[in-house]
Amino acid sequence: MSETDPPVIGDAFGAALARCWASGARPGAAFEIVERDDGYIGVTDMARYFGGRDSWPDLERAALTDVRGRILDVGCGAGRHAVPLRQDGHEVVGLDSSPLAVAITLERGAPAVSGTAQAVPAGIGRFDTILMLGGNLGLLADPETAVVTLTELARITAPGGQLLGTGMDPYRTEDPAHLAYHDRNRARGRPAGQLRMRVRHGRLATPWFDYLLAAADELTDLITSTPWTLNSIEEHGAGYALKLDLAAPTPAAVRPGPETS
Amino acid sequence: MSETDPPVIGDAFGAALARCWASGARPGAAFEIVERDDGYIGVTDMARYFGGRDSWPDLERAALTDVRGRILDVGCGAGRHAVPLRQDGHEVVGLDSSPLAVAITLERGAPAVSGTAQAVPAGIGRFDTILMLGGNLGLLADPETAVVTLTELARITAPGGQLLGTGMDPYRTEDPAHLAYHDRNRARGRPAGQLRMRVRHGRLATPWFDYLLAAADELTDLITSTPWTLNSIEEHGAGYALKLDLAAPTPAAVRPGPETS
């Protein structure tokens, strides 16, 4: 019997995305393998990162009707939203921690840069809309990091700007493996839905990272500690869409409305 | 940061097969996640275990035209071959180490039992044809186990019986990860294509096991140490089909042919 080697740390997500892209984004060509710290492993088809408007969940489609001004697409992946937004004439920048994901988004015609919402690249400018779709509110990672991240995103958001994000309520499951995982987290003093996971592809694995699944009200509680205010929540099954507003400009800076209505 | 738990040892292969079967054997519903001891991980769709005759590789289809008498389908999986053979009126028994795979094969209408080719269940009787299709010559595990296994299978084969199996030549690859794995094995004194792997599904993992990929001539060399003789080899790309004969009965036992032809 021989010993077992650990995977090599690298851009496993991007490598799987690149394999899918090289296949023409064909379903069945490449998979996202996600390993959780309780030994659970799951697989989804990478083709979903290339899904056209018809494949977007209702919550995402609705959120995207609200975009305005300069847009930052946080966790842009293969540019599923950034590329069509750009085609529609919006000024959009994709942001992803995966260098290969950034390269694919660029190749597909949308501007994109490497980085994370916790460490936004310098010189990226200011945005009127921050997108965290595709469940990317999970990138808020954990309650403390969520506050830091939302504050950092507020710093690069223009006064009166907005954040549109989708997330998933972890408590809407009856899967015994997931329920046991919630208990495991609670026993460790962690929020039940704070997943610790990594992506694997071939010999590659990303570093372990936290991904926060929270009920909508858990997340809106956190928002009170940030510069953002809650505008609206839309729920659909276990999913929800949040619309956050950045504190409006001070009255002195408000452009006067029309004298008559 | 919290520690990482290992998976729970269990019938991960069968659990994935059962999920696929529960979905109506729909592609995209369940996946076979295979982890290798060098940290490499790969995924294939479980639906292939339910593929009909049209989906069978040419080598398998050709091999199946040769079946005769009572048939043992070693590593029967979901009964991909055993079920249609049964429907064609053959007497066939499936054998699989996965209890859930055996249950699915039974549910689909073919007899099947739990066990392995290294430990064939007592009372299973004698067979005229041993099938090891779908690359199941890999179940020979390693050179020493291959000789033991083929000898065990000869014990439950009637005189004049045959073994029909398919395998894959590991050297017909240019994938750097696989070539590096061959070197890793050689450095450990193992045959280059002797994979050490396990299947994962949800929180389950099978025990680690060896799966032997060998060039056709490496395998035929091993056969000289067993009761079997090589009848034919068909090659198709990296795949091959072997037809082995069990030493014919002694002349005294040969039934006289017709006096005139």
Residue B254 lies in a domain: no
Q: Give the closest-approach CA distance of B65 to chain A in angstroms.
A: 31
> With contacts defined as CB-CB under 8 Å, which chain A residues touch B190?
2
Kindly state the average pLDDT of the residues A217-239: 96
Are B83 and B52 in contact by the 8 Å Cβ rule? The answer is no
Residue B132 lies in a domain: yes
pLDDT in tens, A137-193: 999 999 999 999 999 999 999 999 999 999 999 999 999 999 999 999 999 999 999
pLDDT of the residue at B235: 96
pLDDT of the residue at B3: 83
Phi, psi of B231 (to 5 degrees): -95, -50
Look at residue A258 and tell me whether its pLDDT is greater than 70.
no
Average pLDDT value over all residues in chain A: 94
Distances in Å between the Cα of A81 and the Cα atoms of A112, B23, B25 are 12, 30, 32
List the single residue in B with minimal CA-CA distance to A43: B31
Residue B252 lies in a domain: no
Distances in Å between the Cα of A41 and the Cα atoms of A75, B37, B153, B203 are 22, 17, 36, 6
Range of the domain at B96: 8-246
Q: Between A6, A177, A203, which is nearest B177 by CB? A: A203
Q: Give the closest-approach CA distance of B11 to chain A in angstroms.
A: 14
Contact between chains at B203 and A40 (C-beta distance less than 8 A): yes
pLDDT of the residue at A261: 40
Q: Give the closest-approach CA distance of A223 to chain B in angstroms.
A: 24
Are A140 and A149 in contact by the 8 Å Cβ rule? The answer is yes
List the single residue in B with minimal CA-CA distance to A190: B2
Contact between chains at A33 and B43 (C-beta distance less than 8 A): yes
List the single residue in B with minimal CA-CA distance to A36: B4
**Residues composing chain B:** 261
Residue B2 lies in a domain: no
Residue B27 lies in a domain: yes
List the single residue in A with minimal CA-CA distance to B44: A28
Contact between chains at B43 and A43 (C-beta distance less than 8 A): yes
Look at residue A54 and tell me whether its pLDDT is greater than 50.
yes
Residue A3 lies in a domain: no
Contact between chains at A41 and B201 (C-beta distance less than 8 A): yes
pLDDT in tens, A117-137: 999 999 999 999 999 999 999
Residue A258 lies in a domain: no
Are A169 and A137 in contact by the 8 Å Cβ rule? The answer is no
pLDDT of the residue at A255: 53
pLDDT of the residue at A30: 97
| pLDDT in 10s for each residue of chain B, 261 residues | 458 999 999 999 999 999 999 999 999 999 999 999 999 999 999 999 999 999 999 999 999 999 999 999 999 999 999 999 999 999 999 999 999 999 999 999 999 999 999 999 999 999 999 999 999 999 999 999 999 999 999 999 999 999 999 999 999 999 999 999 999 999 999 999 999 999 999 999 999 999 999 999 999 999 999 999 999 999 999 999 999 999 765 555 445 555 444
Contact between chains at A177 and B27 (C-beta distance less than 8 A): no
Residue A252 lies in a domain: no
Are A117 and A95 in contact by the 8 Å Cβ rule? The answer is yes
Q: Can you tell me the distance from the alpha carbon of A248 to that of A246, in angstroms, rounded to the nearest whole number?
A: 6
Split into its structural domains, chain B has a count of 1
> With contacts defined as CB-CB under 8 Å, which chain A residues touch B201?
41
Q: Can you tell me the distance from the alpha carbon of A210 to that of A139, in angstroms, rounded to the nearest whole number?
A: 8
What is the helix (H) or strand (E) element at residue A185, kind and residue range?
Answer: helix A176-187
User: Both tokens of residue A101?
Assistant: 């994901």
pLDDT of the residue at B159: 96
List the single residue in A with minimal CA-CA distance to B198: A4
Contact between chains at B5 and A42 (C-beta distance less than 8 A): no
Q: CATH number of the domain that B216 lies in? A: 3.40.50.150
pLDDT of the residue at A253: 46
What pTM did the predictor assign?
Answer: 0.91
Q: Give the closest-approach CA distance of A3 to chain B in angstroms.
A: 7
pLDDT in tens, A1-53: 458 999 999 999 999 999 999 999 999 999 999 999 999 999 999 999 999 99
How far is Cα of residue B252 from the mean position of the Cα atoms in its chain?
35
